[in-house]
């Protein structure tokens, strides 16, 4: 069975006519941004047509190509996430079973500790001592968890900042500002 890729690569071209048109009709900064973005993503206009296109038409084509690129990247990410989610779901189910079995094992060990202490003490005293030890261990774990929870930062702060910068740069390039 042949699998189809989540996105199609755009055909590579030298884009020299696009670069010449942009140099003539746009500022150097905008030209640099557009040519850099176009080069990175393989976007270009056919060389024969580029000299005849206005900057508005070039920007329109650029915008549609960026939109297509983003859609294709989202399709690819969705496919990757679906595969990862399947494995994560199976793993989570197996971890749940392991946790439940470990819980029953710990309960059995606790019952054995109460039974062992009841050989030297009354059963109620043995159960009370084991319960006190368990509550102390729970308090220590809760304090450790609280200190770790305070160290949590927002989700991917550097990624959020770089995406915001990329969006701002694309907007600036599209509107011809520096």
Q: What is the mean pLDDT of each run of 10 residues along the chain (178 residues)?
A: 45 52 49 50 50 80 87 85 86 93 96 96 95 95 92 76 84 73
The closest of 61, 57, 59, 18 to 39, measured between CA atoms, is: 18
Q: Note whether residue 131 is domain-resident.
A: yes
Q: Note whether residue 106 is domain-resident.
A: yes
Q: Note whether residue 53 is domain-resident.
A: no
Check residue 11 and give its pLDDT.
Answer: 46
Q: Note whether residue 35 is domain-resident.
A: no
Check residue 5 and give its pLDDT.
Answer: 46
Please report which helix (H) or strand (E) contains residue 77, including its range.
Answer: helix 55-117
**Residue 61 CA to its chain's centroid (Å):** 29
Q: How many domains does the chain have?
A: 1
Q: Note whether residue 127 is domain-resident.
A: yes
What single-letter DSSP state applies at residue 6? Answer: S
Q: Note whether residue 80 is domain-resident.
A: no
Can you give the residue range of the structural domain that contains 124? 85-159
Check residue 19 and give its pLDDT.
Answer: 54
CB atoms within 10 A of CB 45: 21
Q: Note whether residue 50 is domain-resident.
A: no
Cβ atoms of 76 and 6 closer than 8 Å: yes
Check residue 34 and give its pLDDT.
Answer: 52
The two three-digit tokens of residue 62, written as one number: 């650029």
Cβ atoms of 129 and 137 closer than 8 Å: no
Q: Note whether residue 75 is domain-resident.
A: no
């Amino acid at each position: 069975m042949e699998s189809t890729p989540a996105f199609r690569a755009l055909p590579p071209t030298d884009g020299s006519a696009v670069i010449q048109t942009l140099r003539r009709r746009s500022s150097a900064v905008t030209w640099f941004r557009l040519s850099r973005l176009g080069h990175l993503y393989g976007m270009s206009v056919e060389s024969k047509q580029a000299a005849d296109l206005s900057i508005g038409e070039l920007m329109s084509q650029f915008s549609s190509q960026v939109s297509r690129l983003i859609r294709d990247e989202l399709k690819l990410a969705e496919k990757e996430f679906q595969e990862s989610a399947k494995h994560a779901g199976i793993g989570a189910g197996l971890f749940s079973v392991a946790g439940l079995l470990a819980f029953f094992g710990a309960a059995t060990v606790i019952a054995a500790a109460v039974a062992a202490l009841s050989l030297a003490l009354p059963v109620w005293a043995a159960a009370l001592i084991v319960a006190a030890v368990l509550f102390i261990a729970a308090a220590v774990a809760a304090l450790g968890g609280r200190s770790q929870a305070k160290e949590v930062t927002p989700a991917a702060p550097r990624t959020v900042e770089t995406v915001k910068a990329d969006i701002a740069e694309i907007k600036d390039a599209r509107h011809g500002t520096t």
